[in-house]
């Protein structure tokens, strides 16, 4: 079964079972996102993919495409809401883009540029988060975690290792390593695990590879994330 819906006044075809986000991407239409990944079921945690359908706000990564619906995405109202969400993500962690090894590869940073976010606007939390360099091949910088759970899902569903989990609630939520010591070195985590290569920000970093691609030549340095992703056929730029 197939059909079509309207996205910002333009027809978008869809196949049965597709979400609004999936159908839009297949049609070459970009809806911003952070926690969504094509290899996993929708998660709906970041809310950046918010759209408006019939006056209701929905997460387009989880909302099914339905014949004849009218979807709003590229509006001043929704751009402002997404910008506010990004501002909150920046203040909830410790994000210092100029000194970050992930700069130019970071989807959070790229979305901030995409939405013309010039400042965080809210008061910074400055949460005390550690750096774990115990593993021979990987550094974990928990300061940058945005709780997308991509590493949690990848480790559990693909790698079969359950290395990561989220602990705590609200402002006390944080990423943890499933080892009694809390150290990554005391797990069976490997540099070629999917979980080691899926982080959209700068939490999971490979040792001895820092700044291998010079700043200015990274995917989001020259082009906005919307153009990079659509040019890559909907896959993430780092894959």
Q: Average per-residue pLDDT in the chain?
A: 94
Neighbours of 183 (CB within 10 A): 14
CA of residue 61 relative to chain centroid, distance: 12
Query: Is 95 exposed, middle or buried (CB count within 10 Å of its CB: 0-12, 13-18, 19+)?
Result: buried
Over residues 24-53, the mean pLDDT reads 95
Q: Mark whether 131 and 196 lie in a shared domain.
A: yes
Q: Mark whether 156 and 221 lie in a shared domain.
A: yes
Over residues 93-114, the mean pLDDT reads 94
- 131 occurs within a structural domain: yes
Among the candidates 35, 59, 74, a domain finishes at: 74
Residue range of the domain that includes 190? 97-229
Q: Mark whether 120 and 43 lie in a shared domain.
A: no
Q: Mark whether 192 and 147 lie in a shared domain.
A: yes
Confidence of residue 239 (pLDDT cuts 50, 70, 90): very low
Q: Mark whether 55 and 117 lie in a shared domain.
A: no
Domain count, the chain: 2
Identify the CATH number of the domain in which residue 45 sits.
Answer: 3.10.20.740
CA gap 54, 190 in Å, rounded: 46
Q: Mark whether 11 and 64 lie in a shared domain.
A: yes
Q: Mark whether 26 and 137 lie in a shared domain.
A: no
Q: Mark whether 24 and 65 lie in a shared domain.
A: yes
Q: Mark whether 9 and 108 lie in a shared domain.
A: no
Nearest CA to 154 out of 195, 187, 190, 189 is that of 195
192: helix, strand or coil: coil
Identify the CATH number of the domain in which residue 141 sits.
Answer: 3.30.70.20
Over residues 23-46, the mean pLDDT reads 94
- 86 occurs within a structural domain: no
Q: Mark whether 116 and 174 lie in a shared domain.
A: yes
Please write the tens of the pLDDT for every residue from 160-171.
999 999 999 988
The pLDDT of residue 237 is: 46
Q: Mark whether 101 and 69 lie in a shared domain.
A: no
């Amino acid at each position: 079964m197939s059909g079509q819906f309207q996205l910002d006044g333009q027809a978008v075809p869809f196949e049965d079972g597709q979400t609004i986000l999936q159908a839009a991407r297949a049609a070459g239409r970009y809806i911003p996102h952070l926690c969504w990944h094509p290899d996993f079921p929708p998660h709906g945690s970041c809310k950046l993919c918010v759209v408006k359908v019939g006056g209701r706000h929905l997460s387009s990564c989880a909302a099914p495409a339905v014949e004849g619906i009218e979807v709003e995405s590229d509006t001043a109202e929704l751009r402002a809401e997404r910008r506010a969400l990004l501002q909150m993500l920046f203040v909830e962690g410790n994000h210092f883009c100029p000194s970050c090894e992930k700069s130019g590869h970071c989807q959070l940073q790229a979305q901030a540029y995409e939405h013309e976010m010039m400042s965080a606007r809210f008061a910074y939390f400055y949460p005390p988060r550690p750096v774990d360099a115990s593993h021979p091949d990987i550094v974990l910088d928990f300061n940058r975690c945005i709780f997308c759970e991509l590493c949690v899902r990848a480790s559990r569903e693909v790698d079969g290792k359950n290395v990561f989990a989220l602990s705590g609630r609200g402002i006390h939520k944080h990423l943890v390593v499933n080892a009694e010591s809390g150290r990554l070195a005391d797990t069976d985590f490997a540099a070629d695990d999917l979980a080691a290569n899926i982080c959209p920000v700068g939490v999971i970093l490979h040792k001895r590879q820092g700044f291998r691609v010079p700043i200015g030549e990274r995917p989001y340095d020259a082009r906005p994330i919307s153009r990079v992703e659509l040019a890559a056929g909907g896959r993430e730029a780092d894959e």
